[in-house]
Amino acid sequence: MKQLGILFVVLATAYADFDNQIIGGAPSAKGRWPWVVSLQRWRPDEGIFRHTCGGALLTPRWVLTAAHCLTAGEGPEDYQVFLGAFNHNEQDAEAIIDVHQMILHEDYDEDGAGIPNDIGLIELEVDADLSNPNIGLATLPRRGEDFAHTEHCWIAGWGRMNPNPENMTASPILLEVNTAIHTLDECRDIWEDHLNSTETDILDQHICIGLPDLGACHGDSGSPANVDVTGESDWVIVGLNSWGTGSRCAAATNAFVRITWFLDWIEERVPGLPGVKPPQP
């Protein structure tokens, strides 16, 4: 059953395929997703930092991402966060901030079925400057809110652009794609067909996002799924990209961490959290 592929940028076994990119996407625009950040990891063989995962800025000091994005380095000193970035080739990040500490979910299990609790937090060394129009905060969804079948789900990232496993080229620019959110039952049916098996690793804590040739790939791990709840740019982040179909991306829907499942965990650890959608009247 280990056909899962974690979506960041260090290709290894099928279960440790941590590099994802947007498949079927188009170029975004600088400042369109001001809360989306690029997590960069030190590559000692190259002597530089390179993009490894995405994330979402929750407060000026805290970033939300996937837990598996934080396990490849030796410690916080091996990571930097690029804010307000669009084109890595042009080094156009509005701010580059070092990492002070990283917090993984205490029950994160990289080897468990479905990679449960794949969520983590990054505390930055200094606050992000929110006066910059290209840097902004994500808003968290309401508890219990269901986003299945919305027409307004977008994912954005710097991951691979091609589902062909022989083409591992990542995008230097931020790509985006409008894609679908499935119910858990629909998602499990999709994965049963993909695996030709009656067993899947889709957990209740997942939200399933993507269509054939329209989804995330290596390098997109940790990137948020963004939903416009009113159709008037009222954006909330509903998931974090966790894993998919391995080396051939977008062959089935991707498993994202369901944000509403972890709201208590986030709120208990992030001081001064402003970005929580208020309860419906």
In a domain, 252, yes or no: no
The tens digit of pLDDT for each residue in 168-200 reads 566 788 999 899 899 999 998 988 887 676 777
In a domain, 177, yes or no: no
The tens digit of pLDDT for each residue in 252-270 reads 688 899 999 999 999 999 9
Q: Phi first, then psi: what are they for 149, rounded to 5°? A: 70, 10
Environment class of residue 248 by beta-carbon count within 10 Å: exposed (0-12), middle (13-18) or buried (19+)?
middle
Q: How many CA atoms lie within 13 A of 261 on its CB side?
A: 15
The tens digit of pLDDT for each residue in 209-239 reads 987 665 556 557 899 999 999 999 999 999 9
Q: CA 277 to CA 186: how far, in whole Å?
A: 27
Split into its structural domains, the chain has a count of: 1
Nearest in space to 223 (alpha carbons), one of 78, 13, 82: 82
Range of the domain at 87: 34-137
CATH of the domain at 77: 2.40.10.10
In a domain, 85, yes or no: yes
* pTM assigned to the model: 0.86
Query: pLDDT at residue 30 above 60?
Result: yes
Q: Quick check: 57 and 137 in contact, CB under 8 A?
A: yes
According to DSSP, the residues that pair with 103 across neighbouring strands are 121
Nearest-5° angle of CA 260, CA 212, CA 232? 50
In a domain, 101, yes or no: yes
In a domain, 79, yes or no: yes
